[in-house]
Amino acid sequence: MALALQTFSDGGARGNPGPAAIGVVLCDERHKVVHETAECIGQATNNQAEYRAMILALTLAHERGATRLECHADSELLVFQLQGRYRIKDFHLKSLAEKVKSLASRFESIVFRQIPRESPMIARADKLLNQALNRAGATARDPLRRGPGPDELF
C-alpha cells in the first residue's frame, strides 16, 4: 500500500549568512501532523537553509516509508529551481539541489509546491526553527528574514 505524506519545510538565518535553523512538519493526507522537528545548522544563507530543510523533510519522509510526497515550502526560489523553472547559478545551491533530486528519486511520485508563508503548517515549521535558534542563543544584527525578533514567534 502506498503511503502518501505531505511535507512542510522552512529554513532561515539571522543575518545572511548567519546562524541558521530548519524546521519540518510531516502530515498525512488528512493534514494530521505525524512528525515535526527543527535543528540549528550553523552558519548558512537563507537559501541554503531552505534547501537543507527540504533535504531533512525528504529524509524523514523516506524513513517513515512514504512512497508519494507533496512537498511544500514558502521559498519561490527553492521550489521554482527544483521544478526547473529557475536556473541554479550558485555553486552551493547546485550541490544542495543535486542532493534533493537524489533523495526525490526514492519516491514513486513527488511534487514541489510553493505556498504562502502564512500557511498554517509553514508558519508552524517557521516557529519551530525560530525556537531552535532561540534555544541556541542565535543573534545577529539583522533579524530573521521574516522579521520577528528573537522572542517574537508566529
Structural contact between residues 54 and 9, judged by C-beta atoms closer than 8 angstroms: yes
Q: How far apart are CA 6 and CA 34, in angstroms?
A: 10
Cell numbers standing for residue 131:
525556537
Tell me: the pLDDT tens digits for 84-129?
999 999 999 999 999 999 999 999 999 999 999 999 999 999 999 9
Q: pTM for the complete prediction?
A: 0.89
For the chain, domains (ranges, CATH) are 8-135 (3.30.420.10)
Alpha-carbon distances of 124 from 9, 116, 143, rounded to whole Å? 9, 12, 18
Tell me: the pLDDT tens digits for 15-48?
999 999 999 999 999 999 999 999 999 999 999 9
Alpha-carbon distances of 119 from 62, 68, 110, 114, rounded to whole Å? 24, 21, 20, 10
